[in-house]
Amino acid sequence: MGDERATATTRSRPGAFARAWAKAVSGTSYLPMTQAQLEALLQRLTERLALALRADPFDLRIGQQVGAELVQSHIASAEGLGRTIEVIQLRLVRDLDLVVDDVEDRMARLLATVATGYARALRDRTLDEQEAIRRAAMMARAQAERALRDSEARFRHQATHDPLTGLPNRTLFTERLTAAITAPGRGADRIGVCFLDLDRFKVVNDSLGHQVGDSLLVSVARRLRRVLGEHLVARLGGDEFVILVERAGCTEDVVKVAEAALAAVSEPALVDGHELTVSASIGIVERQVADTSPMELMRAADSTLHWAKAAGGARWSLFDADRNRRELARYALSAAIPAALDRGEFYLDYQPLTGLRDGRVVGMEALVRWRHPELGVLRPDSFIPLAEETGLIVRLGSWVLAEACREATTWADGPAGAPFVSVNLAVRQLHRPELVQEVQGVLRRTGLPAERLQLEITESTMMSTVAEPVRALRVLADLGVRVAIDDFGTGYCNLAYLRDLPVSELKVAGEFVAGLRAPADDPGSRTDERILASLVSLAHALGLTVTAEGVETADQADRLRAIGCDAGQGWHFGRPGPAAPHLDRCSPALTDTAS
């Protein structure tokens, strides 16, 4: 018997008790092991229990360890403990055939230690798991928050940076500019902005493609950032960049920044396999923080950039308050045109076109004037170019056409017929599809015969002979309207295109005529005379008449007459003014007797 007990304490195959125990606990909790593994485990614990039951003195620890080990092996449920106690109590002594003194007493103590060890281990395990899951929840939340912050940061970065070049974009630039200007206590500081735009960037895009254009922008951005690292360099869009010079010491500091930027941009660079050298224009504004607002600063920088561009590019311009004021005044003037039209502030002066052979006034050029309530009478050159830029020229031009035709009908019909009225037509008017209709309407309403209307268009307008305007002119010419090329000779001077145009007259630019003021034996003067002579004979060959502009002296008039020029216009024949006095000189007989 003793031998048998000895073998029972060594590793052995699961006995009846271990198998019964395994059966009792399986299903009470999830056990991550096979039935065989469970039985082997319980066999080992069975041997420990047998040992505890017999040990003298009684050892509390063995039973407690068995209880703890059950939990660690995941036999860890209330039912698991209950069934374990039941099985031990009922079967341990019997199945193992144990002989123990005080067996009931010892069994009670053994069960107590197993239950204690089990309960303690289960509680520890519960606490550990609770702590682990709480920590995991905290960690998960922290990770989610970090991800959120990262994505917010990413989002913010995306919202404030240009995806192509990685530079700050307009949003970030505006934020920084606003902060720099509105920060309290900074009123005395100076701030500078360099507004940069590449010269002829469109040519790169058009000739090499947008991909190369984009690569060029990236390369320019990199160069700017390299040389201007300490200043904020932003891309506002397209090929527009801006540099913010916070805390500028003086204007010179900002000019240095602009020069560094120009130098960096003009470095030759290899872009997508193309060796590209580009230049840039920069508008510089530098002033005291207290004197400006972000919007005003950027507007000033924008105008200044245009000055640099207008001066040919590859340079910087510095903001000039006087010049800016003048330009603003010009803009204000153009904006006032519609209201001035409504109030009838415009009127027409006329300048005669006089026949060189007989001195008869053959036509009169209508010249628009603006009787401005504050500025007095304004000449066209102070408002027409702006009206052309802004498109207001269309309304103004319509008014001039109608008014000129209306007045022309009142001109006395002499024996050789009344002079025609010559009206300037702007490019924009010419491109309007309604042009033919408009002219026809005016002629119908005023009753002016078509032959008494001449439309003057500039040579450059005709150089871009788009089909539509040419067709319109042809319709008008077929109606009998005269078409004159104004300022002839200042453009390409290409006579070939005249063949295809419905033109009846050339008005030779004053520059050529000016040459005739020098003595006739001056070589320069003789050249001008020869040019004019061949021009006239060419024009005649094409069936066109020629009017010389800017005729100021009788000598010029004589020489032009000798060349064969048909008519003259200029101070010699009459200054712009009301029509009536010119008309008085209309009769050739009168002119003859007067001279």
Per CB under 8 A, residues contacting another protein are 27, 29-36, 74, 76-77, 125-127, 129-130, 132-133, 135-137, 139-141, 143-144, 147-148, 150-151
CB closer to another protein out of 37 and 89: 37
Residue 420 structure tokens = 């025609």
Cis ω for the linkage preceding 469 (within 30 of 0): no
- Shortest reach from residue 80's CB to another protein, in Å: 9
Whole-Å CA distances, 174 to 177, 298, 558: 5, 9, 66
Terminal CA-to-CA distance of the chain, rounded, Å?
167
- Is the Cβ–Cβ distance between 577 and 349 less than 8 Å? yes
- Shortest reach from residue 146's CB to another protein, in Å: 9
Rounded Cα distance, 595 and 585, in Å: 11
Whole-Å CA distances, 496 to 237, 430, 548: 43, 21, 20
- Shortest reach from residue 224's CB to another protein, in Å: 34
Helices (H), 351-408: 384-390, 393-408
**Among the listed residues 538, 558, 512, 580, the one whose alpha carbon sits nearest the alpha carbon of residue 359:** 558
CB closer to another protein out of 71 and 544: 71
CB closer to another protein out of 31 and 586: 31
Helices (H), 228-293: 251-265
CB closer to another protein out of 150 and 558: 150
Coil/strand/helix, residue 198: strand
Report the largest interatomic distance among the alpha carbons of the chain, rounded to a whole angstrom: 169
Rounded Cα distance, 92 and 51, in Å: 12
CB closer to another protein out of 77 and 390: 77
- Shortest reach from residue 77's CB to another protein, in Å: 5
CB closer to another protein out of 27 and 187: 27
Rounded Cα distance, 464 and 441, in Å: 27
SS3 assignment for 504-530 = CEEEECHHHHHHHHCCCCCHHHHHHHH
C-alpha atoms less than 13 angstroms from C-alpha of 455 in its C-beta half-sphere: 32
Residue 566 structure tokens = 């048909």
Report CA dihedral (48, 52, 56, 58) to the nearest 10 degrees.
Answer: 140
- Shortest reach from residue 37's CB to another protein, in Å: 9
- Shortest reach from residue 59's CB to another protein, in Å: 29
- Shortest reach from residue 41's CB to another protein, in Å: 14
Whole-Å CA distances, 430 to 212, 235, 469, 472: 37, 39, 6, 8
CB closer to another protein out of 75 and 180: 75
Whole-Å CA distances, 458 to 397, 455, 462, 565, 567: 15, 10, 7, 20, 18
- Shortest reach from residue 303's CB to another protein, in Å: 44
CB closer to another protein out of 131 and 206: 131
Coil/strand/helix, residue 588: helix
Whole-Å CA distances, 511 to 149, 485, 493: 71, 15, 13
CB closer to another protein out of 36 and 99: 36
CB closer to another protein out of 122 and 193: 122
- Shortest reach from residue 141's CB to another protein, in Å: 5
Coil/strand/helix, residue 57: coil
- Shortest reach from residue 104's CB to another protein, in Å: 33
CB closer to another protein out of 143 and 293: 143
- Shortest reach from residue 319's CB to another protein, in Å: 46
